[in-house]
Amino acid sequence: MKQILVATDFSNSAANAMEYAMALAKTLNMEVCAINAIPSMEGVGNNIYNAIFIEDYHNNKRQALKEWANNYTSKDEYSNVPVTTTCNVGSLKSVISEYINQHHVELLVMGLTGSTGITGIVGSNASMMVEAVKIPTLIIPLESKFSKAPVITLATDYETRLSADDVNALNEMVLAFGSDKMKILYVAESAAKKNIETEESKLQELIKNAQLEFNYITNSSTLSGILSFIEANETDILCLVKHHHNIVYRLFNRSTINQVMNKSVKAILVLHE
C-alpha cells in the first residue's frame, strides 16, 4: 500500500499535520507512518538518563510516539487507515531521507504554525526538507484544515516540466477528491505571453482528471502575485514546482521560503521536475 510519511516533534503543528494526513490517507486509500528524529545527544547527561541508559531513553521516545499516533488510530473515522511509527537517532534530514530511500513513500507531510510564525523542530526544518527530498511534500500551516473537496491551485511559469511520478500523484489526488476543476496560475513580469495556447494544451494533457481554469497575473514579484491570488480566490492547496532555474524556484531557497509559509495559511504541495 502507498504510504504517507508524517514528520512529528509532538507539537501542535505536527498534530494538525497528522490529522490532515489521516484524513488524506483515508481519501487516497493509503497508509500513514509517523516519524520522529532523536538528536544524537538527546538524553545523554541530563538529570534522568546518562549514556549507560541511553537505549532506555530511546525506547521511551519510541513508545511515546506510538502513544501519540494512537490518538488518531483510536478514532472511529480512521479505523481503516493503517498506521505505523518509526523513531530513529539522527538529524531530521538524515532520518527522513534514510526512511524514504528504504520505503515506498508517496508523500511527505510536515506541519508548521503558519501565519503566526514558524516554531518548533518540524516548522523550522520544513524549508530544509523541501530542498532535501525528491518526493511531493505537503506543508500544513496550523490554520489549514483538511477539506473533502479542496480547491487546488497550481502555480507555473510553463517552463517547468513535472516529473512523471509527481504528475501521477497529482492526478491521483484530483481523482480521489472528485475535483472537476483545477486552477492554474501564471504570474508574469509583463503582460506579453508567448505560445500560451500550446502550453495550456500540454498542461491539460498531463492533468487528465480535471478541467483546468487558467488565470494570468502581471506582477513584478512572483511571490506577491501568488499570495495576492490565493487571498482573492478560493484555494485550499497551493501547488508549487521546485525547479533550479525558473522564477518559481526562488520561492524555495532558504532566504524566502519562510516568508511564503508565514504569509500563507494554505496547505502548500511542493512538486518536482
**Residue scoring higher pLDDT (21 or 181):** 21
Q: Sorting pLDDT into bands at 50, 70 and 90, what band is 240?
A: confident
SS3 25: helix
**Average pLDDT of the segment spanning 160-174:** 84
**How far is 93 from 71, CA to CA, in rounded Å?**
25
**How far is 72 from 207, CA to CA, in rounded Å?**
33
pLDDT at 262: 66
Domains of the chain: 3-141 (3.40.50.620), 152-272 (3.40.50.620)
| Chain centre to alpha carbon of residue 169 | 13
Per-range mean pLDDT, top range of 15-19, 50-54, 165-169, 185-189:
15-19
**Average pLDDT of the segment spanning 74-101:** 94
pLDDT at 45: 56
Q: In what order do the strands lie in the sheet with 83-89?
A: 83-89, 31-38, 3-7, 105-112, 137-141, 267-272, 237-242, 152-155, 181-188, 211-218
- The DSSP annotation for 210-265 comes to SEEEEEEEE-S-HHHHHHHHHHHS--SEEEEEE-SSSGGGGGGSTTTHHHHHHH--
pLDDT at 120: 43
**Average pLDDT of the segment spanning 196-201:** 86
**Adjacent-strand bridge partners of 139:** 110, 268
Give per-residue pLDDT as tens, 107-145: 999 987 644 444 444 445 777 777 778 889 999 988 899
Question: Can you state the angle between helices 12-28 and 54-73, rounded to 10 degrees?
Answer: 50
**Residue scoring higher pLDDT (36 or 132):** 36
Give per-residue pLDDT as tens, 243-263: 655 444 444 444 444 566 667
**Residue scoring higher pLDDT (182 or 241):** 182
Q: Are 150 and 177 a contacting pair, CB within 8 Å?
A: yes
Question: Which residues have C-beta within 8 Å of that of residue 246, sequence separation ≥ 6?
Answer: 157, 159, 160
**Average pLDDT of the segment spanning 141-154:** 91
